[in-house]
Structure 1
C-alpha cells in the first residue's frame, strides 16, 4: 500500500474498542462512510489458527482436479464445498473470474429451523485436520464480526447489541480462494469489479497485491494492501441497503499481478457475514431523510441472496 493510501484509510485497532467503544465506532464508521472499507488490526483471530488455515488451504487446492471436483455440488449455487475454476462471474462482466474456491458455512444442529435454507457443510477427506481448522477459523471470524457489528450499531445510533438477533444463526460463509497463476498475456482480471452481497466482509489474505477499490470521489482504483497481521473489512450490499446507502458498498476487484508475478498463485480467505435468512432488510428510520429518501423496498436476506446468486452465475434464474 502506498503511504498516501494508508494516510487516507487509517489503520484502526480493535483493541481500542474495549477502552473507548464510541471512539472506535466513530473511527470505523468514518472509514466506512468515506471508502466503504476499513483496515483493522488487533482483530483477535489467533495467528496460529490463521497459519493452520493457510497451510490447509494451499494443501487442498494442490489436490488433483478430479479429487477437488468430487466435492462440487451441481445446482447447489456454490453454497458449500468446491466451486471450480472459471465458474463465478461479476454482475455485468463479460469474462468469468480466474479463481476456484471452497465454501464453509455455519454448523446447524439437526432439525434447525434454517436447515432448509442453509446447506450442511461438506468436508474433504484430505488434507487431514481440514474440518477442525476451519471450524476454529469460522468461530474466530464470527466473534470478530460480531464486535465490528457492535461498533457499526453504535455509529448508527443503535444499541450496541442491535445486530445480535439479526446474525444469530446467520448464513455466514467462509470462502477459501485460490487464484492460479495466469499467463503473461491474460486479458482478464482475476476477479471482476463487484460489490459483496452480505452485511460486512472480513478479509484475510489481502497482503498479496491485487485487491483494488474504486474510490467514488476520485473515480480512481486504489490498491488495498493492509499492514502485516491486519485484515480488510468492507461494507456489503445488505448493510448498504439497511443503512439506505449511508454506509456504501464499494466496488472492488482483484487485478492480475505484474508480469513477473503471474507465475505465482494468490490465496485469500474472506468471511462473508450474513444475517439469518428471515432477517428483513429494511432501511433504518435514522438513515432516511428528505435529502436521502428510502431507496429500496424491504426484502428478506434469503430472497436477496437468491437474487444475487443468480446474477453472478452461481444459480440459474
Structure 2
C-alpha cells in the first residue's frame, strides 16, 4: 500500500477508503473468438495475481439481480428463523456471524459475515449422498420464500457451466488439452458449492483484528465471485512480503471476479497462484455470492506433467480432494456442538 501502510497491511484511515491502492486485473471475454488471446491474458493473470475478471459469461444481468434479491430476502429473515436452517455436517445451510474464522492468527473474533451453503442436490437414498459435501440441500420453506430454491438451483447450474468454460482456458494455459478438467474425476462430478454472503456493515479494523473476512486462500480449483457494488475485497499478491501490500479489487457490473484455489496451485506446482485475499467492511452492508468449484471427491491432486522437470520437481505431495477440503473446512468453521444449546 505504499507509504500509508502499517505492518498489518491496513490503511492509516481504518474507517476506510479513498481507493488509491487498486489492483488492475485482466478481463477474459468468454464470448471472444480469439481463444489464444484469452489464454494469453489468463496466463498472465494467473502468474501475476491469481485474480481476473470474466465478462460475457452468458448469465443475464436480470437473473443476477434476481439471485441477489433472493439472497437479501433470506438474510432479512429473523435470526431465529435462520438458525432453524443451521448448516449441517455436510456444509449445507445457514452460517451465523462469527461462525467462520479464516485467519485466527490475526483475527480476535471470527468473520463478521453470515452465509448460506448450497451444494449439488442429491437425494438421501443416492449412494453418493454418503460422501462429505454431497447429499440433500437445506432449503427454506416455500411459504415464506417462494421461488427461492428454484432461483438458487438454476444459478448453481449456470455458474457451473461458466466455471467449466474458464477451466478449459486454464487447461490451455497449462499446455494441456482443453477438456483436461472435464474428466469425470474432475469437473465431470465436481464438488461445487454456492455460497450466499451478507456482511453486516461493521467497520473493519486490521490493527484491532476486526475483519469482514479474514485473510485466506480458497481451497479448490477456481472461485467465481459475484458481488454488489460495495467495495471490500482486497488481495495480497505476495503473502511473504513484510509489510504485506493489500490492493482493492473493485466490483465490475456484469463481471465475475475469478480467483484460483489451492488445488490449482498444487496442480501447477506453484506456477499459478492461489492468492491471499480478505474483506474489509466500511460501515456499509455488502452482499456477495462466491461459487467454489472443486474436483470430485476421489480426484488425486498432484503435479501436472507439464509443470515439473528434473530441475523443477514437484513441490507438493499428492492429496485427495476430499481429504484436503474436509480438513480446511474443519480448520475454519465453528464446531456444530457449540450451537446445540441455542437450538434446544
Q: TM-score, normalized by length of structure 2?
A: 0.83
Please give the alpha-carbon distance, in whole angstroms, between the structure 2 residues aligned to 1:233 and 1:284. 22
Contact kept in structure 2, 1:35 and 1:248, CA below 8 Å: yes
Please state if 1:304 is matched with 2:304: no
Please state if 1:152 is matched with 2:170: yes
Aligned residues: 306
Please give the alpha-carbon distance, in whole angstroms, between the structure 2 residues aligned to 1:119 and 1:202. 22
Any unmatched runs of 5+ in structure 2?
1-17, 337-344
Residue 253 of structure 1 corresponds to which residue in structure 2? 278
Give the alignment's Cα RMSD to 1 decimal.
Answer: 2.2
Q: 2:222 pairs with 178, 194, 200, which one? A: 200
Please state if 1:90 is matched with 2:102: yes
Alpha-carbon shift at residue 289 of structure 1 (Å): 2.8
Three-state SS of the structure 1 residue aligned to 2:235 is: strand
Please state if 1:132 is matched with 2:144: no
Alpha-carbon shift at residue 314 of structure 1 (Å): 4.5
Residue 30 of structure 2 corresponds to which residue in structure 1? 14
Alpha-carbon shift at residue 191 of structure 1 (Å): 0.3
Alpha-carbon shift at residue 15 of structure 1 (Å): 1.4
Q: Mark the CA change 1:112 to 1:168 in structure 2 (over 3 Å): closer, same or farther.
A: farther
Contact kept in structure 1, 2:95 and 2:116, CA below 8 Å: yes
Please give the alpha-carbon distance, in whole angstroms, between the structure 1 residues aligned to 2:127 and 2:306. 32
Q: Mark the CA change 1:25 to 1:184 in structure 2 (over 3 Å): closer, same or farther.
A: closer
Query: What is the 5 A alignment of 1:36-75?
Result: 36-73=50-87
Any unmatched runs of 5+ in structure 1?
none
Residue 187 of structure 2 corresponds to which residue in structure 1? 167
Residue 284 of structure 1 corresponds to which residue in structure 2? 304
Contact kept in structure 2, 1:22 and 1:155, CA below 8 Å: no
Contact kept in structure 2, 1:199 and 1:237, CA below 8 Å: yes
Please give the alpha-carbon distance, in whole angstroms, between the structure 2 residues aligned to 1:293 and 1:267. 42
Q: Mark the CA change 1:254 to 1:183 in structure 2 (over 3 Å): closer, same or farther.
A: closer
Three-state SS of the structure 2 residue aligned to 1:238 is: helix
Q: 1:267 pairs with 287, 290, 293, which one? A: 287
Q: Mark the CA change 1:150 to 1:130 in structure 2 (over 3 Å): closer, same or farther.
A: same
Alpha-carbon shift at residue 308 of structure 1 (Å): 0.7
Please give the alpha-carbon distance, in whole angstroms, between the structure 2 residues aligned to 1:269 and 1:44. 17
Please give the alpha-carbon distance, in whole angstroms, between the structure 1 residues aligned to 2:179 and 2:123. 24
Alpha-carbon shift at residue 245 of structure 1 (Å): 1.0
Q: Mark the CA change 1:159 to 1:209 in structure 2 (over 3 Å): closer, same or farther.
A: same
Q: TM-score, normalized by length of structure 1?
A: 0.90
Alpha-carbon shift at residue 100 of structure 1 (Å): 0.7
